[in-house]
Amino acid sequence: DAMVIQNPRYQVTQFGKPVTLSCSQTLNHNVMYWYQQKSSQAPKLLFHYYDKDFNNEADTPDNFQSRRPNTSFCFLDIRSPGLGDAAMYLCATSRGLAGDTQYFGPGTRLTVL
Amino acid sequence: RKEVEQDPGPFNVPEGATVAFNCTYSNSASQSFFWYRQDCRKEPKLLMSVYSSGNEDGRFTAQLNRASQYISLLIRDSKLSDSATYLCVVGLQDYAGGTSYGKLTFGQGTILTVHP
């Protein structure tokens, strides 16, 4: 059974039109992460939640926001997508320690027209 | 300088070959080390953790040299199904907003293609 689920798997949006990506987990992990991965590049951490505490990476643009209404769900909101935001968005969860495995969802591939 | 550097390849090898990937990391405070595998257009999945004493999982052997900040992965008897991108990943316990959390930094990956 899938442990980290992302919806939709593919999202097409127009330049400047807000979009929301969702992630849910059945692992009851404390930490949920959002990564952005562009073609042939490493996944780049955007932000994470430890329980309800939200933490942005220093270089994450303000255009990206997140919400975590409960332990199981986390959302990525892109307020005004630009062409440069086209990427795979990966959600991951872990218990929170450096040595813990991060479990990734299948990703949402975002296309911006 | 990138925090985690890998040779992007691609490595093209025949079935049965032995292939080795190398990786270096810049943050000496890194505490945990992994190899993840990522298939085309799929999510990364943990292949194995890497320990200072070296560790083996079937055909896969991982080594860590903390002094040199160097990680390696050896794949013996390559199979067609080993074709993928191999991501070198380092972790550390970071602190933000009053909480600590495990933070992973990924290399850009090494592409492996195993052909018949």
First CA to last CA across chain B, in angstroms? Answer: 37
| Amino acid in position B65 | N
In contact, A90 and A107? CB cutoff 8 Å: yes
pLDDT averaged over every residue in chain A: 94
Q: Report the DSSP beta bridge partners of residue A49.
A: A32, A54
Q: Residue A90's pLDDT band (boundaries 50, 70, 90)?
A: very high
Q: Is B102 within 8 Å of A105 when comparing Cβ atoms? A: no
Chain B: residue nearest A49 by CA? B101
**Length of chain B in terms of residues written:** 116
Nearest to B32 among A42, A51, A98 (CB): A98
Residue for token pair 């990427």: A87
- Most B CBs within 10 Å, among A4, A50, A88, A90, to test the B interface: A50
Q: Kindly tell me if the per-residue pLDDT of B102 is higher than 90.
A: no
Percent of chain A with pLDDT over 70: 98
pLDDT for B54 = 86
User: Beta-carbon neighbour count of residue A72 at 10 Å?
Assistant: 16
Say yes or no to pLDDT of A2 above 80.
no
Query: Taking residues A19-36, what's their average pLDDT?
Result: 96
Asked if residue B32 lies in contact with residue B90, where contact means CB atoms within 8 angstroms, the answer is yes
- The string over B95-107, giving b where at least 16 C-beta atoms fall within 10 Å of a residue's C-beta and e elsewhere, is ebeebebbbbbbb
For residue B49, pLDDT over 90 is answered with yes
CB-based burial of residue A16 (10 Å sphere; 0-12 exposed, 13-18 middle, 19+ buried)?
A: exposed
Separation in Å, CA of A60 to nearest CA in chain B:
15
The answer to whether the CB of B90 falls within 8 A of the CB of B30 is: yes
Q: How far is CA A36 from the centre of its chain?
A: 7
Does the structure show a pLDDT above 80 at B70? yes
* CA atoms of A93 and B56, how far apart (whole Å): 26
In this prediction, what percent of chain B has a pLDDT beyond 90?
80
pLDDT at A56 over 80: yes
Give residue B45's pLDDT. 93
CA–CA separation, A79 vs B41, rounded Å? 25
pLDDT at B72: 96
In this predicted structure, the answer to whether residue B1 has a pLDDT above a threshold of 80 is: no
Asked if B108's CB is within 8 angstroms of A90's CB, the reply is: no
Would you place residue A98 in the very low, low, confident or very high pLDDT band (cuts 50, 70, 90)? confident
At which residue do the structure tokens 């990506």 appear? A21
Interface contact flag, A43 B4, Cβ < 8 Å: no
Q: How far apart are CA A5 and CA B60, in angstroms?
A: 29
Contacts of A104 in chain B (CB under 8 A): 43-45
> Tokens 């009053």 correspond to what residue?
B98
B112 falls in which pLDDT band (50, 70, 90)? very high
Instruction: Kindly state whether B103 is in contact with chain A, defined as any CB-CB distance less than 8 angstroms.
Output: yes
List, in order, residues 6 or more apart from B96 with CB less than 8 Å away.
Answer: A55
Evaluate if residue A9 carries a pLDDT over 90.
yes
Interatomic CA distance for residues A65 and A72, integer angstroms: 18
- Residue B93 banded pLDDT, cuts 50, 70, 90: confident
Read off the amino acid at residue A51.
D
Q: Which pLDDT score, from 0 to 100, does residue A29 have?
A: 94
In this predicted structure, what is the pLDDT of residue A26? 95
- pLDDT band at B24, cuts 50/70/90? very high
* Mean pLDDT computed over A45-64: 92
